[in-house]
Structure 1
């Protein structure tokens, strides 16, 4: 089966860290027997190329120096800071539209799978209609949030949904927004982990590592070089956040939670960078009592892996931001679970698809630093609770977030569309 995958972003070179979940999903689709090509925009004149044996068709839409609408940051954020980029939207759609037709005329795919349906549904529709190719639209949440800011997007998305033969959503939260727009069947199609290694040994060792926060268990050694490192000598319970420093991640509430955590027992480590980094550092500097807050900046893969190994809990204190944006799924939570970390996260967006409160993690209300701190305190004193949550997390991943299961469901939809 031939599948043409359309997206706004795809890795530009072998080491590129863009959309690792999409790259991984395509690898698993190929493993399942699908033949894949990708259609994505150029970046600064980038020509078509191959990644992991997959051909990536790049369409041009401006002078090379202007082709910065995608990659490295979301297009809506870029257009907000550089309004002139909005002028590129029309050539983006037109050039992508004709490139899609050219590929389909030559390659004859059996299915077109378009991610981020606004605007990629309109890049795909011409070829889908002309060559009678089934169209799958895959929503990730951001497209639907545009409706709040740009009312004219709503009828365009509603029309596009009606033209598709199948609709995928990354979370039940996203699926609900699609159904509110148009009452159609929606397939839940989340992401799996992009980690290359996961062993059940990691869960056992993480249990031991959390126990090492207590004086009687100060250092843990490992048989697994990927996921285990001796616990910090100072014995503090390490709270880890990894992600972009943007409003919807809710980092400011994590910093506020530090005030309610004893400094001799807790440490908060904030990995990543973003527009709010300096503002968050200033907020943290004003916290004179409570847990120490450490900003690591952007880390190498090796250093990031070390942060996961030495942490005791992973947190995503996400919120609904002033634009109505929030977490569509929170794939970082799945990865933290894979590495044997208990989870504390906000009960917003698609996060409850991953974290079932009291079973696979702890959910707290958004924008509630006291509730965050209380959850961390519960875990710090209760290794049995940690073990229970890790077992529940493993079960949740096995039931819902393994790539084999995700891809099997996608392939079933593809095959159904051929009948």
Structure 2
């Protein structure tokens, strides 16, 4: 429990929050709020409505929904990031004005009644501006939490930069999900930035309780697992290209999830197989066939748990995409580490906060299929290296990515700004 003299009530503001109990939106935010509540804080959430959704409760936490358009148009958030939706449908930008105005007055109304000690605004553009009126009017400290996406808007919309600089200047504390994001904040304004990563949101048990620090058994083939949305910044196309350097009799690539690029990636995988089959025919059967590439689609929690249990390595071949976007942290890496898998990932964005090369996993340059393949081959051939990485990854999780530690540090910052 928190001390009576410290923070007691927090209003958390975000663009997305689960709409119903089974909703899988932002599981890390839901889990963090559950742990804040467990620590003794009284939490309320302010988030936009989705197609007319009214205020409700999730996990015993009141979720205040603000309306900003007719119900049929209230789909600016949820299910896909607002920037992506706006890029595909530019007219949605018109909803940003009523979104901010409606949220602004809803925030004042909530703060007048709830009287929070802290306002914690995630994705400061535009949520800092939803929070500022209430923060000034009721003299409530404002904490901003950056996740990277809002900072990338600066590249496309120059007018966002001064708005973010001003918002940072009005905050009493600033959180960042990774050192990569923190660096971008400091480039805008030289302020202290607290590193506040996420912990795991796994629904199934820790794999290490079953296998300890031993490498997962290799049954016929060394299985390479990717789990995530099929979007450009995940770098899946380079994982598919890596199949060319991995012999089929020894390796298998399993790609879990769906996304805008799924069909394109399946076509690419078929072309990789076809090209190598053609080369084999030309060379009289001497060319090695590439590793099998299996697309599983979206999986149930039970099926996903089985993928982790039968995999030998987890991979995230992320890149800086054509929009300048990349991984802010890579919480899926933390989950894979908790389940006893060694990691191979790209050295971009916030990934190095999780994967320390040679200690908790193997980092490779982005967009380099041969480097990916070499890392997988190395892990398949060196079980002692795998053991070393598994021990290192558990140490890293214990030091940085347990929810108890994350929430304790967060509450310490809350209490500091209240003094």
Same fold (TM over 0.5): yes
Q: Does structure 1 residue 283 correspond to structure 2 residue 268?
A: yes
Task: Identify the match of residue 2 of structure 1 among 3, 9, 13.
Answer: 9
Q: CA 1:200 to 1:256, structure 2 compared with 1: closer, same or farther past 3 Å?
A: closer
Q: Does structure 1 residue 267 correspond to structure 2 residue 262?
A: no
Which residue of 1 is the match for residue 280 of structure 2?
none
Which residue of 2 is the match for residue 91 of structure 1?
98
Whether the 8 Å CA contact 1:169–1:186 is kept in 2: the answer is yes
The alpha-carbon deviation at position 201 of structure 1 amounts to 3.6
- Residue deviations 1:181-225 (CA, integer Å, cap 9, x gap): 00000000000001145447437357252xx32xxxxxxxxxxxx
Alignment map for 1:282-361 (pairs within 5 Å): 282-288=267-273, 289-361=289-361
Structure 2: gaps of 5 or more residues: 1-7, 274-288
Which residue of 1 is the match for residue 181 of structure 2?
174
TM-score (norm 2): 0.93
Aligned residues: 397
Segment of structure 1 superposing worse, 77-86 or 39-48: 77-86
- Residue deviations 1:362-385 (CA, integer Å, cap 9, x gap): 000000000000000000011111
- d(CA) in 1 for partners of 2:23 and 2:15? 15
Which residue of 2 is the match for residue 244 of structure 1?
229
Q: CA 1:46 to 1:174, structure 2 compared with 1: closer, same or farther past 3 Å?
A: same
Q: Does structure 1 residue 124 correspond to structure 2 residue 131?
A: yes
Which residue of 1 is the match for residue 409 of structure 2?
409
Q: CA 1:399 to 1:198, structure 2 compared with 1: closer, same or farther past 3 Å?
A: farther
Alignment map for 1:19-418 (pairs within 5 Å): 19-199=26-206, 201-202=208-209, 204-205=211-212, 207-209=214-216, 212-213=217-218, 232=219, 235-288=220-273, 289-418=289-418
Q: Secondary structure at the match of 2:391?
A: helix
- d(CA) in 2 for partners of 1:92 and 1:78? 15
- Residue deviations 1:353-404 (CA, integer Å, cap 9, x gap): 0000000000000000000000000000111111100000000000000101
Whether the 8 Å CA contact 2:327–2:350 is kept in 1: the answer is yes
The alpha-carbon deviation at position 133 of structure 1 amounts to 0.1
Q: Secondary structure at the match of 1:207?
A: coil
- d(CA) in 1 for partners of 2:343 and 2:202? 17
Q: CA 1:305 to 1:280, structure 2 compared with 1: closer, same or farther past 3 Å?
A: same
Q: CA RMSD in A?
A: 1.1
Whether the 8 Å CA contact 1:202–1:340 is kept in 2: the answer is no
Segment of structure 1 superposing worse, 392-401 or 282-291: 282-291
- Residue deviations 1:309-352 (CA, integer Å, cap 9, x gap): 11110000000011110000000000000111100000000000
The alpha-carbon deviation at position 33 of structure 1 amounts to 1.2
Whether the 8 Å CA contact 1:2–1:109 is kept in 2: the answer is yes
- d(CA) in 2 for partners of 1:265 and 1:200? 23
- Residue deviations 1:159-184 (CA, integer Å, cap 9, x gap): 00000000000000000000000000
Q: CA 1:277 to 1:200, structure 2 compared with 1: closer, same or farther past 3 Å?
A: closer
The alpha-carbon deviation at position 417 of structure 1 amounts to 1.4
- Residue deviations 1:131-168 (CA, integer Å, cap 9, x gap): 00000000000000000010000000000000000000
Q: Secondary structure at the match of 2:191?
A: coil
The alpha-carbon deviation at position 256 of structure 1 amounts to 0.3
TM-score (norm 1): 0.93
- Residue deviations 1:250-280 (CA, integer Å, cap 9, x gap): 0000000000001000000001111111111
Structure 1: gaps of 5 or more residues: 214-231
Q: CA 1:302 to 1:241, structure 2 compared with 1: closer, same or farther past 3 Å?
A: same
- d(CA) in 2 for partners of 1:31 and 1:11? 19
- d(CA) in 1 for partners of 2:130 and 2:215? 51
